[in-house]
Amino acid sequence: MTPDSITLLLASPGPEVLAEACAAYTPGGELQLIGRLRRSYDGAVVTAAVTQASLRHRAVAKFGADDAARMYFTPAGLEQATRSTVAEHRAARIATTLPGAKVVDLGCGIGGDLITSARAGLRVTGVERDPATAAAARANLAVLGLDGEVVEGDAEQHDVTQCEVVFADPARRADGRRVFDHNAYSPPWSFITGLLTGIACVKVAPGIPHDAVPDGVEAEWVSDAGEVKEAALWSGKLYGGVARRATLLPSGATVDTAPEADAGPVAQYIYEPDGAVVRAGLVTAVAAAVDGWLLDPRIAYVTSPVLVGTPLASAYEVVETLPYKEKALKAWVRAEGIGTLEIKKRGVDIDPAVLRKKLAPKGSASATLIVTRVGRDAVAYSCRRINR
- The pLDDT mean for the chain works out to 94
Would residue 264 count as lying in a domain? no
CB atoms within 10 A of CB 159: 8
Evaluate whether residue 372 is within a structural domain: yes
**203 lies in which domain range?**
79-249
Q: Are 98 and 212 in the same domain?
A: yes
In angstroms, rounded to a whole number, what is the distance separating the alpha carbons of residues 51 and 47? 6
Residue 143, CB-side half-sphere exposure with 13 Å CA sphere: 21
Instruction: Please determine, for residue 324, whether its predicted confidence score (pLDDT) is greater than 80.
Output: yes
Residues 6+ apart with CB under 8 A from 226: 274, 275, 314
Rounded average pLDDT over 228-253: 96
Are residues 356 and 290 part of one domain?
Answer: yes
Residue type, 330: K
CB atoms within 10 A of CB 268: 13
**Are 204 and 256 spatial neighbours (Cβ–Cβ below 8 Å)?**
no
Whether residue 172 is found in the same domain as residue 106: yes
C-alpha triplet 142, 144, 148: angle, nearest 5°? 50
Same domain, yes or no, for 54 and 86? no
> Rounded to the nearest 10 degrees, how much is the dihedral formed by the CA atoms of 9, 12, 16, 17?
-50
> What total of structural domains would you count in the chain?
3
Full DSSP string of 65-125: HHHHTT----HHHHHHPPPHHHHHHHHHHHHHHSTT-EEEEET-TTSHHHHHHHHTT-EEE
Q: Return d(Cα 112, Cα 260) in angstroms, integer.
A: 40
pLDDT digits (tens, 9 = 90+) for 336-361: 999 999 999 999 999 999 999 999 99
- pLDDT at residue 387 in the model: 79
- Digit-coded pLDDT (tens) for 175-234: 566 767 788 788 899 999 999 999 999 999 999 999 999 999 999 999 999 999 999 999
Is the pLDDT confidence value at 40 over 70?
yes
| 266 in Cβ contact with 325 (< 8 Å) | no
- Which of 103, 108, 112, 23 shows the shortest CA–CA distance to 67? 112
- Using DSSP bridges, classify how beta strands 102-106 and 200-204 pair: parallel, antiparallel or unpaired: unpaired
**Statement: residue 68 has pLDDT above 90:** yes
pLDDT interval class at 174 (50, 70, 90): low
User: Residue 7: its pLDDT value, please?
Assistant: 87
**The pLDDT of residue 104:** 98
Distance CA(76)–CA(134), nearest Å, equals 12
On whether both 96 and 114 belong to a single domain, the answer is yes
- The pLDDT score that the predictor gives to residue 46 is 96
Both 222 and 135 in a single domain?
yes
Please indicate, yes or no, if residue 333 is contained in any of the structural domains. Answer: yes
For 281-306, the pLDDT digits (tens) are 999 999 999 999 999 999 999 999 99
Give mean pLDDT, residues 70-97.
95
Are residue 164 and residue 284 in the same domain, yes or no? no
Average pLDDT over residues 120-148: 96
Q: Which among 116, 51, 109 has a CA at the least distance from the CA of 89? A: 116
256 falls within a domain: no
86, 222: one domain: yes
Of the chain, the end-to-end C-alpha distance in Å amounts to 45
Residues 57 and 198: beta-carbon distance below 8 Å: no
Residues 304 and 202 in one domain: no
Q: What is the pLDDT of residue 185?
A: 84
The HSE-up count of residue 253 (CA atoms within 13 Å, CB side) is: 18
Mean pLDDT value of segment 35-41: 95
Query: Is it the case that residue 48 has pLDDT exceeding 70?
Result: yes
Domain end, chosen from 20, 37, 70, is at 70
What would the mean pLDDT of 233-253 be, rounded to a whole number?
A: 97
Residues 48 and 87 in one domain: no
CATH number for the domain spanning 116: value is 3.40.50.150
Q: What is the pLDDT of residue 287?
A: 97
Measure the CA–CA gap between 216 and 233, rounded to whole angstroms.
Answer: 10
> Cα 130–132–135 angle (5° rounding)?
105
**Residue 51 shares a structural domain with residue 124:** no
Q: Above pLDDT 70, what percent of the chain? A: 98
User: Residues 15, 38: one domain?
Assistant: yes
In this predicted structure, what is the pLDDT of residue 172? 73
In a domain, 255, yes or no: no
pLDDT for position 173: 65
* Predicted pLDDT of residue 175: 59
pTM of the model as a whole: 0.91
| Predicted confidence (pLDDT) at residue 30 exceeds the cutoff of 70 | yes
The verdict on residue 263 lying in a domain is no
Picking from 183, 180, 178, 205, the residue whose alpha carbon sits closest to that of residue 193 is 183
pLDDT of the residue at 180: 73
Final residue in a domain of this structure, among 17, 51, 70:
70
What is the enclosing helix (H) or strand (E) of 190? helix 189-195
- Do residues 345 and 374 make contact, with C-beta atoms less than 8 angstroms apart? no
Position 253 pLDDT exceeds 70: yes
- Give pLDDT tens digits for 136-163: 999 999 999 999 999 999 999 999 998 9
Provide, rounded to the nearest whole percent, the portion of the chain with pLDDT above 90.
91
378 vs 185: which has the higher pLDDT:
378
The amino acid occupying position 191 is F
Q: Is pLDDT of 332 > 90?
A: yes
Residue type, 365: A
